[in-house]
């Protein structure tokens, strides 16, 4: 059995999908308790140390605005800001890369877990009026940290779209949110997109010149729990360990195989 990963790094950005992270992280939380694994570690990382909202709301310290009119024309660009959650980053992209480059107290990262959400496709309006992707800093960070990831990159939902935009998914199999599948596949034609797959594990031999590590991708939102349970089964003790976690969480884990079409998607998305 492969050596179990210990150090998890999770990039967050305004407009990340909360369940993309809450599901996988709570599974890992429970695993760390039930298994007695006191070594598992988690760090949230972002472009600044400002609390990061799960909705497309500008963080307090930012000097830009969102192009909400284009993103939400049906509401005239209005977004509810009174029902919202924030996550607090532990470090910034710049701090993390500086620590890696210095070689002193070099941070360890076994798993890079990338969420999706509306924030992956929003544009920011800079003070000079120019527009830039809301996840530009994340797209710059991923290729720099990827060579230091020791076990795997995991994406949930449109987190695979972000990863694909860096080129690290070129020639590799992957899946993404079914509602966004056509859009994501068109934007990233060099990826071997697996339509209707609940989750996909791309092994290093699929890579062509990119970082030779495993890349696990899931379809939309709740599918992040499936890829996490499968990841746990692979790295932390087998299928029964994952089944017990699903039972404790009262989650109806259907144990859909790697790359297999999900009947839910065949039913709801006519694939």
Q: Residues of the chain with pLDDT > 90: what percent?
A: 90
Give the span between the Cα atoms of 67 and 85, in whole angstroms.
21
Dihedral angle, C-alpha 231, 55, 75, 80, nearest 10 °: 130
Name the residue range of residue 177's domain. Answer: 7-51+87-117+135-268
CATH code assigned at 180: 3.40.50.880
pLDDT band at 1 (very low <50, low <70, confident <90, very high): low
* Tens-digit pLDDT profile for residues 100-124: 998 878 899 999 999 999 999 999 9
- 71 domain-assigned: no
- 21 domain-assigned: yes
What pLDDT does residue 57 have? Answer: 95
Give the span between the Cα atoms of 242 and 255, in whole angstroms.
10
What pLDDT does residue 104 have? Answer: 75
- 76 domain-assigned: no
- 80 domain-assigned: no
What pLDDT does residue 212 have? Answer: 82
* Tens-digit pLDDT profile for residues 209-239: 767 899 999 999 999 999 999 999 999 999 9
pLDDT at 252 over 80: yes
What pLDDT does residue 60 have? Answer: 87
Token pair recorded at residue 269: 């998305």
- 213 domain-assigned: yes
- 37 domain-assigned: yes
What pLDDT does residue 211 have? Answer: 74
Domain count, the chain: 1
pLDDT at 208 over 80: no
What is the layout of strands, in order, in the sheet containing 65-66? 65-66, 123-125, 131-133
Look over the chain and give the mean of its residue pLDDT values, rounded to a whole number. 95
DSSP codes of every residue in 136-187: HHHHHHHHHHGGGEEEEEEE-TTHHHHHHHTTTTTTSEE---GGGHHHHHHH
- 70 domain-assigned: no
- 122 domain-assigned: no
């Amino acid at each position: 059995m492969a050596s179990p990963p210990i150090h998890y790094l999770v990039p967050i950005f305004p407009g990340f999908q909360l369940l993309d992270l809450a599901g996988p992280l709570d599974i890992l939380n429970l695993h760390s308790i039930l298994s007695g694994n006191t070594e598992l570690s988690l760090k949230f990382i972002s472009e600044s140390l400002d609390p990061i909202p799960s909705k497309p709301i500008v963080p307090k310290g930012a000097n830009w605005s969102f192009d909400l009119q284009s993103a939400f024309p049906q509401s005239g660009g209005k977004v509810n800001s009174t029902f919202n959650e924030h996550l607090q980053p532990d470090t910034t992209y710049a701090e993390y890369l500086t620590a890696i480059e210095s070689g002193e107290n070099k941070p360890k990262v076994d798993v890079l877990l990338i969420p999706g959400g509306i924030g992956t496709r929003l544009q920011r309006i800079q003070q000079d009026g120019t527009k830039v992707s809301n996840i530009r800093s994340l797209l710059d960070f991923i290729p720099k940290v990827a060579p230091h990831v020791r076990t795997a990159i995991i994406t949930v939902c449109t987190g695979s779209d972000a990863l694909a935009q860096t080129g690290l998914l070129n020639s590799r199999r992957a899946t993404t949110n079914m509602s966004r599948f056509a859009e994501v596949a068109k934007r990233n034609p060099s990826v071997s997109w697996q339509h209707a797959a609940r989750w996909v594990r791309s092994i290093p031999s699929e890579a062509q010149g990119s970082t030779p590590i495993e890349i696990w991708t899931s379809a939309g939102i709740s599918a992040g729990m499936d890829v996490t349970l499968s990841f746990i089964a692979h790295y932390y003790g087998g299928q029964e360990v994952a089944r017990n976690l699903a039972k404790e969480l009262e989650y109806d884990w259907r144990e859909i195989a790697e790359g297999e079409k999900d009947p839910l998607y065949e039913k709801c998305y006519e694939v």
